[in-house]
Amino acid sequence: MAQGVFLITGASRGIGAATAELAAEAGYRLVLVARRVDALVERAARLGGPERVWVAQCDVREWAQVSCLVDRVEREWGGLDVVFANAGVSVETSFTTEEGDPPPRWADMVLTNVCGPAYTARAALPALIRSGGHLVLTGSAAGRGVRPGNLYSATKWAVTGLAQAIRAECVGTGVRVTLVQPGLTDTGGIPASRARDPKLEPSDVARAVLYAIGQPPTVDVNEILVRPVGQHAYR
């Protein structure tokens, strides 16, 4: 059984919650991070209680909060072995019509989806270098193609580039970097226009994460693209 420390942002639901379940089964001690932690309290008790699971309220848009959290985890639990920069949000956008969310709401998505993983990586990588650990980032199949009027897709393009930039800088450090790119996943926020489309379950993506981190330390799974059967490549 693994005994490392596994930090997951966006852990209150969806892919983050499903990954926490599998990581606990694999024997990791968990740091479950979210803006709102009410949903995490019961899960933490079920997955092992305070000796095995640490619930942390943290806004990944705020560098000071992310940095302080990582420092505290390393100080109190002795290190970090896996960090899953998973927190993300989505809003509907259009550049030519009034459809979707108004532009003032777009900033939260950009900060969460781009600055969030960047801040998480910057805070965690010194600890991961010390442990020879693993950084995992949640991208999206939407970050591999053009989606008309879709700013969410652009933020996930940014995560694709971020993962490549981090991996290049980590050459020679022993740190592994994996970008997981899910297709449409049933995390509770699917727009009505795609309600009938094929979907992944969060646990499907979680298994991909555990596959990547479960490889020998000489193997770096750079990218995993996983879509539900029947999803169009351009969706």
pLDDT of residue 118: 98
pLDDT of residue 230: 84
pLDDT top residue among 81 and 39? 81
Catalytic-role residue among 28, 119, 152, 234: 152
User: pLDDT digit string (tens) for 48-97?
Assistant: 988 899 999 999 999 999 999 999 999 999 999 999 999 999 999 999 99
pLDDT of residue 146: 83
Average pLDDT, the chain: 93
Residue 6 structure tokens: 């596994």
Can you give the pTM of this predicted structure? 0.94
pLDDT over threshold 80, residue 234: no
pLDDT over threshold 70, residue 113: yes
Q: Of 88, 56, 51, 96, whose CA–CA distance to 72 is shortest? A: 56
pLDDT of residue 193: 66
pLDDT of residue 12: 94
User: pLDDT digit string (tens) for 157-213?
Assistant: 999 999 999 999 999 999 999 999 999 988 876 666 676 778 999 999 999 999 999
pLDDT over threshold 90, residue 28: yes
Q: What are the residues facing 176 on neighbouring strands?
A: 134
What one-character DSSP code corresponds to residue 54?
E
Q: For residues 114 and 94, give the distance between their C-alpha atoms in angstroms, rounded to a whole number.
A: 19
Active site annotation includes 28: no
3-state secondary structure of 28: coil
What is the rounded radius of gyration, in angstroms, for the C-alpha atoms of the chain? 17
